Structures are given as C-alpha cells and as structure tokens.
Structure 1
Amino acid sequence: MADDRESEPEPESESESELGLELERLVELLALKDERRTGWDLRGIEEPESVAAHTWGVATLCLFYADRAGEDVDRDRAVAMALVHDLAEARTGDIATRAEDGKQRVSGEEKEALERSAITDLLKPFADRDGDRSDYLALWEEYEARETPTARFVKDMDLIDNCLQALAYERGDRYDETDANDAFTQYENLDEFFATAAPRVRTTVGEDLFAAIKARYERAIGRDCQL
C-alpha cells in the first residue's frame, strides 16, 4: 500500500540557507530603486529621482573624477564606496540634510546611529565567511568617518551629484517656484541644495565642480548674485 502522506521538504543545505538570506536582503536593498529622494520630494519636483539613481550618479562621478583628485584617492575603492554609501536608506528612508534652522528632522548623530544599525544588519549576509565583519561595512564606515582622501572625495561627489541634479531640474522646469511651499521658506528656487553643499566641499576637484555647476545654475534662474 502506497504511503500517500505528504513528504516533508528536504532541509536546506547551509549554502542554500545562506543564499536565501542574501536574496532576501537584496530584495530589500532593491527597494532603493523606488525610494524617492526626500529633498526633491519636499520641493515639489515632478517625478524626482530615486536613491538608487543618486547612487549611480555618485559612482559615475567617482569613476570620471578620481584621477583628478590626487594620487591618494583610490578610484576603484571610491566607486565601491559610492555604491554602498546610501544602502542603509533601504530601511531608514532618505533623511534629508536641511540648511534652514528648525527644518532638520533628526540630528546628525541620530541619523548616523539609525543608518549604522540598518547597514550592519543589511550587510550581515555578505560578510566574509571567516568572520562577522564585511569589507562592504568597512567601506561604509570609512565613508562616514571622512578620515581618508578617498572618503572625502566620495562625499564631495555625493554633494556634487545633488548640485548637478538641481541644475538639471532647474533647466528642465521640473517644479513651480511660485507654489507656496512650507518646506522651503528661507531659500528660493533650489538654492538650499547649494547652500547645504557649499560649506561641506573639501577637495579641490569638488570645489572646481561646485563653482562651475553653481554658475550654470545662477544663469539658469537668471540671477548673478552669490548664494
């Protein structure tokens, strides 16, 4: 007589279990393709970029400009660092840096703590098999510390990407500056994105790019004064 009881599924091997956890984390990380950048959303930009799009922009800038940033900047490491620098936002969301007093949703310290907790867990499945520390987590921590030439360069390219995007949105007429907007009461147009970047740019190549982009932005809005 045949045994018609349902057979129990074969237990997953260790390698299958590890791969399964990696895939679940990847599904979570890929949500960054749909996570819209908060700063543009607040400003009322039509169909603003995603966090993943911003990541691509930063990585591309690192690829193109690392050679101009000095011999202490490692281009391959910079591109890798750019790819991981915002992965935590798959869980925390994009916490925008604000220039206007009283507009920052959480402090810088709180933001870093939230993101550190998120990135540590998200990257666990991709840790070296010999230990619990991931090279990818080390890249993120280096970026946050800004203590190496490569990390400072990547942060500058992060800021430059924001400025380039602001220029693109201004040229593309992607928002209505006449609309009342409680999120932007002190700054006109997309000025806040330049105001937040200006004091934080730390490399020569970053300063050169910032000045050139800002000049084009000023022309795009028909203004010659300094921000």
Structure 2
Amino acid sequence: MNLQAHADDLLRLVARTERLESFPRSGWVVCGVQGPESVAAHVYETTLIAMWLADRVEENVDTERVLRIALLHDIGETLLTDLPWPVKKFIGKDAIADGEARAVDEVLADAPQGWREAVSAYEDADTLEARIVKAADRIQMLAKSLQYRAQGRGDVQRFWEGTRNFEDYGIPLVRAVLDRLREHWDNDDWYPADYD
C-alpha cells in the first residue's frame, strides 16, 4: 500500500469537490431565487433526510449504503455543475447520462472501490437504499421550495406541477411525507426557521 499515493488521492478529491460549496443549485436560479443553496448544502440535507428515512422505514435497510449513495449522488456536478431541468430537457437524457457518467469517472478516478458503484446504484434506483436516496432528493427539493416561498424568494410553482417530483418509490413513509409536503403547499405555510 502506497500511503503517500492514497494521501494524494484524497487531497485531490477534496480539492475537486470543494467547488460544490460554491455551485448554486441552478433550478432555484431559474426560478429567481437570489443566493440559493449550494450543491453541497443540498447533498447534506438530502443525506440527513435519507438517514432519517432509513432509520424509520419498516424494511431492513443498509444505512451505511444509504449514506454512501446520498453523499455521492451529485458528485458528477463537480465537473458538470448543476444543470437545471430545462437545460437537461433540451440536451437529452442520453447525452446527460453519458456526461454524468464520464464526470463521475473523472472525479472518482482514484476513489476507493465501491464509490462509483454507489453513484450507479443511485442512477439505477433498483435497491431500497437507492430508492430512499432518490426520495430524499425529492423531499429535500420540495421542502426547500416551501422555505423559499415562505421567504418570498422566487417563483417555485413549477416544482409542484405534474407528478415527476412526487414519486414515492414504493415506500409508504415517503408517500406520507410527500402528502404532508403537498398539504403545506396547498395551505401556503411552512415551519419557521427559528426555534421559538
């Protein structure tokens, strides 16, 4: 084992991924949200939600796997940035998938075994763990849209149109959370950001 090479691999990864702290989630920019969350903030909240779901669902879940998938689910954005849905629609699903796969391969070229597979698991969504993360990603986005609306920070209506953002991935707890989010939207209310 070459410890210096492993050290360099880790530090190169840190240097590459630190830009996720400054990349804004572009879907919010398209909606007119000033100073939106970063990709890194989104990943943190998605991971928190995924861990909560993993600890609450009735099925047996590999929580470590959930955390790995959640932490890495947007790692390709280190190179691609966060492409908003309108851009993805015009570029096309196949081109986006190819670009994301190549970006993941580049960013994780020297990563430990299993890291790329975690990203692939997220894309495939064929395990309970990956479906939990997919659901957490949607829940985080919808909750953030409610926060932005409550703060008067943009027009987030488009996130609530259609059914694309309301997939429960076959998880009853996710359905309950999505239903509560919809109630908050319909009632035009959200939780205050303080603890009063």
Shorter-normalised TM-score: what interval? 0.7 to 0.9
After the TM superposition, which residues 38-57 of structure 1 pair with which residues of structure 2 at under 5 Å, given as runs?
A: 38-57=26-45
CA–CA distance in 2 between the matches of 1:159 and 1:79? 16
Higher helix proportion (structure 1 or 2): 2
**Aligned residue number for residue 144 of structure 2:** 165
> What secondary structure does 1:220 align onto?
coil
Structure 1 runs of 4+ with >3 Å offset: none
Conserved? CA contact 1:95–1:111, under 8 Å: no
- Rg (Cα) greater in structure: 1
Conserved? CA contact 2:51–2:67, under 8 Å: yes
**Identity fraction in percent:** 23
**Aligned residue number for residue 62 of structure 1:** 50
Conserved? CA contact 2:25–2:37, under 8 Å: yes
After the TM superposition, which residues 89-108 of structure 1 pair with which residues of structure 2 at under 5 Å, given as runs?
A: 89-98=77-86, 104-108=89-93
CA–CA distance in 2 between the matches of 1:84 and 1:194? 26
- CA offsets 1:70-108 (integer angstroms, 9 cap, x no match): 32332221122100000110001112235xxx9724222
Backbone CA RMSD of aligned residues: 2.0
1:53, distance to aligned residue in structure 2 (A)? 0.5
Conserved? CA contact 2:105–2:116, under 8 Å: yes
Structure 2 letter corresponding to 1:220: D
How many residues align? The count is 186
**Aligned residue number for residue 36 of structure 1:** 24
CA–CA distance in 1 between the matches of 2:108 and 2:53? 28
The counterpart of 1:212, out of the listed 161, 164, 180, is 180
After the TM superposition, which residues 3-22 of structure 1 pair with which residues of structure 2 at under 5 Å, given as runs?
A: 15-22=3-10
Unmatched tracts of structure 2, length 5 or more: 190-196
Conserved? CA contact 2:30–2:84, under 8 Å: no
CA–CA distance in 2 between the matches of 1:135 and 1:159? 24
1:160, distance to aligned residue in structure 2 (A)? 0.5
Unmatched tracts of structure 1, length 5 or more: 1-13, 128-133, 176-188, 222-227
TM-score scaled to structure 1, two decimals?
0.75
> What secondary structure does 2:187 align onto?
helix
Structure 1 letter corresponding to 2:110: P
